Structure 1
Amino acid sequence: MNTSGSSIISALGAGSGVDFIKLASDISAASFAVQRDSIAARKTSLEAQISAAGQLRASVTGLAAALGDRIRNGDLAPRGELGNAAVARVSVPPGVSPRGNFALEVTQLAQGQTLLGRSYASRDALVGEGTMTLRFGTVAGASFAPDTARAAIDIAVTATDTLASLSAKINAATGGAVQAYVATGTGGAQLVMKGREGAANGFVIETAGAGGAAAPGDLSYLGWTPATNAGQLQGTARDAAFRLDGVAMTSPTNRVTGLPGGFTLNLTGTNTGAPTSLNFANNTDAIAGVMSDFVAALNDIAGQVNQLAAPLGGELGNDPGARELRRDLARLAGQVVMPGAVDGEPRTLADLGVALNRDGTFRLDTARLNRAIETTPDAVAAMFTTGVSGVFGTIDRFARENTVVTDPGSLGSSLRRFEAQVAASDERLARIAEQQEALRERLTRQFTASERQVAASQSTLTFIRQQVDIWSARDN
């Protein structure tokens, strides 16, 4: 009987022994696993496509930007050469191509006014309270013609101001129009004031001191006009004067702009009576170098397209934007970049030696490039400006057309589409997570209710076990 009673209890069980919380979680996760895994795989594929499209876009825009920088920096501009390099330095702003030969004669350099104040015992000597006024204009001999278009500058000087602190106030008040500092020499401490280049940048110093006596310690001691000059004027403000091909010209500074062809001169010396030659020559070596770099950059892009847009295994194998980029690259060498070129002048990139290989890569025909440079150097140089025509304008349009997001057939549009699909996948995964959580909570409630029923059954089983034990004891 004991054996029979134990078998009954064992068959009825002592409890469910099931982890209903884990069971609910596992069932809810399994219910959405297929959808979740499918979307996650699609998202991984999209992210690979985004990376590939972004890589191609960066390469295309980087080529246009690098080429633009080379041209804007003046690397490819004609070089000016002076027979007398001590007279000036020549620079060519980006986007201009001066031509021809000139004769340059510099008779006078521009300079600013230099004024040396009277001596003080030290840089810490008090200068006296009052107001110092600076007026600008033209100094000529003992006369001064004020520039009525420029306002005078008033500087308030306190009783505690020294020669050193006054120089600092002058610098701050004039904003660089006058530079002041204190120099200490054998004659004591002196205030040095220097104006900007140009005849119109001369200046006078008007002072209103408290004491009224022109002596150290009174501000009037620092006043100056051409009529009262006693050796303080060390240099008169003046314009630069020069002749270009015999034409007399002036400039308020030694940096001269507005010259024929757009070049700039920085005058550094005079050569009165001995004009020097100024010639401009195309920078053919730089052009050959940039064409070599240009073809190498095109090959880098073509190699990426061949890999990333391969029909089999390429992340962008079926992408319309990548296919359009491949077609544009194939058309690039024969594209007209100089529509206004006359017969015999280069019109296309092919005329500069750019050739397309069978595999979609490029090569540089150096013989054809050199022939174009030798026979039409000015026309070749004109292709390397920042205008709408030329090599840069063509590559800039090529980059923009392939990266614009509004064209459904462009790489830029493909990239935006991939990003939108990734965002949609994230939203779908978020909704699945919400649905999975809702299912888990519902199952948990159901299993909890079942557990309570099991618990009640266990209570009944316990009672039956006790009765069986009693019956078994009586039978013994």
Structure 2
Amino acid sequence: MATLSSLGVGAGFDTESLVTKLVSLEKAPAEKILSETTKLNTKLSTWGRVQSSFSALKDAASALNKDSFWNATTATSSDSASVSVTTSAGTPSGAYSVNVTSLATAQFISSNAYADKTAVVGDGTLTITFGTYESDGGEPPAITFAAKAAAAAIDIPIGPGDNTLEKIRDRINAANAGVTASLVTDAAGTRLVMRGPNGESNGFKVDVAEGTTPGLSALAFDASTGATSSMTNNQMAANAKATINGIEISSESNTLSNVLDGLTLQLNKVTTSSVDISVSEDKASIRTGIEAFKTAYNDLVGLIRVQTLYDADSKTAGPLQGDSTANGLLRQIRSLASTTTSASSTFNRLSAVGFDIGTDGTLSINSSKLDDAMDNLPELQKLFANDSEDVAAQGIAQRFQSLAAQIVDTDGIISSRQEGIKASIKRNDEKIERLEDRVALVEARLRKQYTALDTSMGNLTALQSYVTAQLAALTNNSSS
């Protein structure tokens, strides 16, 4: 007897479809659980967005609580091409008149021209010594060299394999001696150029001890009177010289960072007239920080409102609709925005400096009212940033920072809510796994039962065919 190839062949009806439908009914609870898990994942993701918004509000509030924020200053220059200026936190307001007599320069020396960069110069040792070239002011002036006490002379060995112009350049640069070397090619040929740091105490001389291949003395230099120099002095090292409010200043750098408290001047070129520098409170950056706080607050309020609303038109609810935790957090921050503080004797709440609370809980700023408040920055700072153990005397930004920090903490409300949702998702996954195991067993049982039915029905069909055939044969024999 032939074996059955699929369910239903023996029975004569579609038992495969019947089994599939019965198994589908067994899977129905799993679909419901999967739908619930999808909603839980959406809720978990939404809480993640809420947590990020609280973190943004905490950061914005934290910025308002820093002294450096309220002490920010800005500086302007009447001729930034000649003298530019930057400030740091705590720079006092003031006005300065700057005249630049000369800029700090570096010493440049150059060699005679060689055929090309591969030309052999010689080997031996170059010794670079930093110091100051000084004139006695006589007629003609005598130049002396005073070595820099804090800088030891540096020897640069030039071996037989390093005696070409380009390799000597590389050896000088690799020594990190404070002098940089480069090659410059003009109509006469290629020259080695050496440059030191800016400042008159960073002048330098180059002594040479010849090696086995002579010629290295062509790179010797000493500008002091009576010394022998083979290289050409193109520029002497010099200090920047300027006057600030009539006081003479000398600097090895064109960047003056330690002359005025908190102020850095960049000398760019010699001036023919005074450059006026003005330092004032940076109200623009302070206002930007206050606006950033408002935006972070509104983003958070808007997010929670949308996620907790029910849309009657679309008949859809936000992922956190009816969530008591979300609604509680929304009430907390809205209440905090309208709270009063004794931190300032002038401003006792946000509305006093131009903050208006809308019907939707978001904040807007009355620009002219805030401008008036910014004319009294010390009291405005207290309103936002006063730090006190007495909660009633704490600034508004201090309170927001504290509240947001508690909420986004690893043990905070949001983290606890997220852990609860994750636990529900895990339980659902376990339910699905158990259901899948049960459905597999049911399907196996049904297939076994219907396979047996198919076999029995197939046997009956075969028996029927046999009996029918036998009866037909008997009938035929009788007729004969």
Superposition TM-score, scaled by structure 1 size:
0.75
Partner-residue secondary structure (3-state), 1:370: helix
Moved more, 147-156 or 437-446: 147-156
Name the structure 1 match of 2:278: 279
Which 5+ residue runs of structure 1 have no aligned equivalent? 1-12
Offset at 1:369? 0.6
State the alpha-carbon separation in 2 of the partners of residues 179 and 403 from structure 1.
54
Name the structure 2 match of 1:322: 326
Partner-residue secondary structure (3-state), 2:116: coil
What are the within-5 Å matches in structure 2 for residues 28-177 of structure 1?
Answer: 28-34=23-29, 36-62=30-56, 77-82=72-77, 85=80, 87-93=82-88, 95-104=89-98, 106=100, 108-135=102-129, 137-141=130-134, 142-146=144-148, 152=154, 154=156, 156=158, 158-159=160-161, 162-174=164-176, 177=178
Partner-residue secondary structure (3-state), 1:90: strand
Amino acid at match of 2:253: T
Amino acid at match of 1:263: L
Match status 1:358 vs 2:383? no
State the alpha-carbon separation in 2 of the partners of residues 200 and 422 from structure 1.
73
Name the structure 1 match of 2:5: none
Q: Percent identity?
A: 23
- In the comparison of the two structures, how many residue pairs are matched? 448
Q: What whole-Å deviation, never above 9, does each CA across 1:86-113 have from its counterpart, x for those lacking one?
A: 55211123x4453233454555533333
Offset at 1:364? 0.8
State the alpha-carbon separation in 2 of the partners of residues 250 and 152 from structure 1.
28
Name the structure 2 match of 1:4: none
Name the structure 1 match of 2:314: none
State the alpha-carbon separation in 2 of the partners of residues 164 and 356 from structure 1.
72
Quick one: structure 1 residues 472 and 322, their matched pair in 2 at CA, closer, same or farther if it must change by over 3 Å?
A: same
Offset at 1:120? 1.7
**Contact 2:60 2:296 (8 Å CA) reproduced:** no
Offset at 1:475? 5.0
**Contact 1:212 1:220 (8 Å CA) reproduced:** no
What are the within-5 Å matches in structure 2 for residues 314-393 of structure 1?
Answer: 314-334=318-338, 339=343, 343-344=345-346, 349-374=350-375, 376-377=376-377, 380=380
Offset at 1:382? 9.2
Match status 1:418 vs 2:421? yes
Name the structure 1 match of 2:435: 432
State the alpha-carbon separation in 2 of the partners of residues 14 and 437 from structure 1.
23
Name the structure 2 match of 1:309: 308
What are the within-5 Å matches in structure 2 for residues 6-45 of structure 1?
Answer: 15-18=10-13, 23-34=18-29, 36-45=30-39
Quick one: structure 1 residues 368 and 69, their matched pair in 2 at CA, closer, same or farther if it must change by over 3 Å?
A: closer
Partner-residue secondary structure (3-state), 2:277: strand
**Contact 1:337 1:349 (8 Å CA) reproduced:** no
Q: What whole-Å deviation, never above 9, does each CA across 1:20-72 have from its counterpart, x for those lacking one?
A: 555444433321312x1221121221233234333334444456668989999
Alignment RMSD: 4.4
State the alpha-carbon separation in 2 of the partners of residues 338 and 171 from structure 1.
64
Q: What whole-Å deviation, never above 9, does each CA across 1:185-226 have from its counterpart, x for those lacking one?
A: 35432112223334554444444543463xxxx333223344
Quick one: structure 1 residues 98 and 174, their matched pair in 2 at CA, closer, same or farther if it must change by over 3 Å?
A: same
Quick one: structure 1 residues 277 and 425, their matched pair in 2 at CA, closer, same or farther if it must change by over 3 Å?
A: same
Quick one: structure 1 residues 160 and 254, their matched pair in 2 at CA, closer, same or farther if it must change by over 3 Å?
A: closer
**Contact 2:117 2:183 (8 Å CA) reproduced:** yes
Amino acid at match of 2:362: T
**Contact 2:83 2:275 (8 Å CA) reproduced:** no
State the alpha-carbon separation in 1 of the partners of residues 416 and 366 from structure 2.
35
Quick one: structure 1 residues 351 and 439, their matched pair in 2 at CA, closer, same or farther if it must change by over 3 Å?
A: same
Amino acid at match of 2:356: A
State the alpha-carbon separation in 2 of the partners of residues 440 and 417 from structure 1.
35
**Contact 1:105 1:271 (8 Å CA) reproduced:** yes
Name the structure 1 match of 2:4: none
State the alpha-carbon separation in 2 of the partners of residues 423 and 429 from structure 1.
10
Q: What whole-Å deviation, never above 9, does each CA across 1:275-326 have from its counterpart, x for those lacking one?
A: 6553212233454455456545543433322211237723212335523441
Which 5+ residue runs of structure 2 have no aligned equivalent? 1-7, 135-143, 312-316, 389-393
Quick one: structure 1 residues 289 and 46, their matched pair in 2 at CA, closer, same or farther if it must change by over 3 Å?
A: same
Quick one: structure 1 residues 377 and 458, their matched pair in 2 at CA, closer, same or farther if it must change by over 3 Å?
A: same
Name the structure 2 match of 1:223: 220
State the alpha-carbon separation in 2 of the partners of residues 384 and 355 from structure 1.
16
**Contact 1:61 1:399 (8 Å CA) reproduced:** yes
Partner-residue secondary structure (3-state), 2:104: coil
Q: What whole-Å deviation, never above 9, does each CA across 1:398-456 have from its counterpart, x for those lacking one?
A: 6544433421x23x543454345445434443443344334333433444344444444
State the alpha-carbon separation in 1 of the partners of residues 250 and 341 from structure 2.
40
Partner-residue secondary structure (3-state), 2:43: helix
